[in-house]
Structure 1
């Protein structure tokens, strides 16, 4: 674009909050950002607009929609919000808002929206979705976890809530499936703690269950070798598949470092932290869980890590927690752990 138009975008950025209050009136300011549902002014928190400039050349007025990957400047936002057919209409509207006189640029021809979409399922899209989510206290995520008997305190930094997370409908979904639901967003991190992806669990807040969709769980980003972590790595740890499975162990062993691999295949490939010397593997009672355990044992033998299984009484540890209770589950797990580990990690 030519310099006059860039100058106009800069001036809009200098008045970013006023622009947002006018065109994105259903949002609100949170710190240095304006948060709203989308570029069409829906209620929510998916789209965020930077209100002040920052280090590294970050400019006020730049926006990102974490649910779709779209991003742009305030001229782009005005163009979509006002459904303009060409750039000239957008320039005229921006100059009117800024109380500037008309210019020759107002007669420019058509120009498409300049937003750029992060590749679906990419690590970049995962980072944006994580940034647009919030802590789980007081959200449908906390209610959902409580319904699964997961009530231990703490805000669980590895988990966040997105109140309006986009759901891509599949062929197996019915026509009643909505385009977005509240979702539990889990951070998938590497051994250094860097965010490499996210896992989404879409929820039905009216029933405190997973949403009634064909695929209520989906992950995106770089997952292989990485996982959802609860606690810092140590000499003794536990790996398992599902988030709820590992949080169930956290109910009875609150200080035991835990990692959820999210699937049997990813569980088998989880990277071993340097301090690890004894690893408990929470196995699901299926063929995939047994195969994952065998793969971990084979990998661990070359680095002298002692691998031991932790088997549930029922199909998984969350079923154990819900149906036999914390005391019964503790007694069952105690039989399978080394006495020193049971004494150190299991709650009384």
Structure 2
């Protein structure tokens, strides 16, 4: 598997959803082209750019200039950085500011930021005036390869992550890989967990390519764009088959049943970033799969080795935090969105690239397994 060798030429991935289909445009230096692309989709529209204070300082001026260049009037809505902004209070504020700016149903919301901003802005767009169009401009690796694609929008509840939301597809995703240069090493590593997830769930060849090329992805250049494009193609294909997550799309939650519980236990705080929780959750999913005889332990070791080499947590003790006991962790997992009639859903694996969805898991055995990991 080789990275593309045509620098500067964007990769376009189609999300095939009929009359709601849209493009994911991937490449370096695409922010200046946002205006023309948006003008081609929304003639005469106004825009509201939603971002957090950190991204505003880095990229908001460039986005506003790109919109102004094609005579798209814009207003800005700036929120606090961090997972805490995925709240009812911040959602209310964003909706009120959209209404105060007289953003109409023919206008557009631009979600400029990482997964938090994409989820929050998309949900605000879904419910304001009973539905506004929105564009995703993801600024983190995690958002570019995962959360900006597929139309899942949500805020958090005190009872769990992403429990209040809606499916609302964007009309365009612009993934400018140059924006990733401004990420901290920790944020980039956290995003890489979602990149690795795609290889682990359904493409053993891609995971092997990642093992050989991770350093180049972190350095930037064609390998980075190739990784983002590969993940987006995989997600677009899954979303086109199962938009509402009644089947295959649940595969994208590999590591998330465990991971979301760890995030909730940490208070959705900087103590544990989402990608770090996913890394830990994926390792637990592979360990549990080995525990019940689905795969060889050497494959678990391979997963652990790669994620650890990147600098991601692979053991509970890698995260310096006083974790709750197994009963509390089971309570948190029971709030997972994939629970159906009281049964928890797990994404397990028969090998690297061979994930599958199951509810046929003994909760007592899961509890014992979680207890062993916490110990």
Q: TM-score, normalised by structure 2?
A: 0.26
> Greater Rg, structure 1 or structure 2?
1
Between Structure 1 and Structure 2, which shows a larger proportion of strand residues? 1
Between Structure 1 and Structure 2, which shows a larger proportion of helix residues? 2
Q: TM-score, normalised by structure 1?
A: 0.28
Which structure is higher in RCO with an 8 Å CA cutoff and minimum separation 6?
Answer: 2
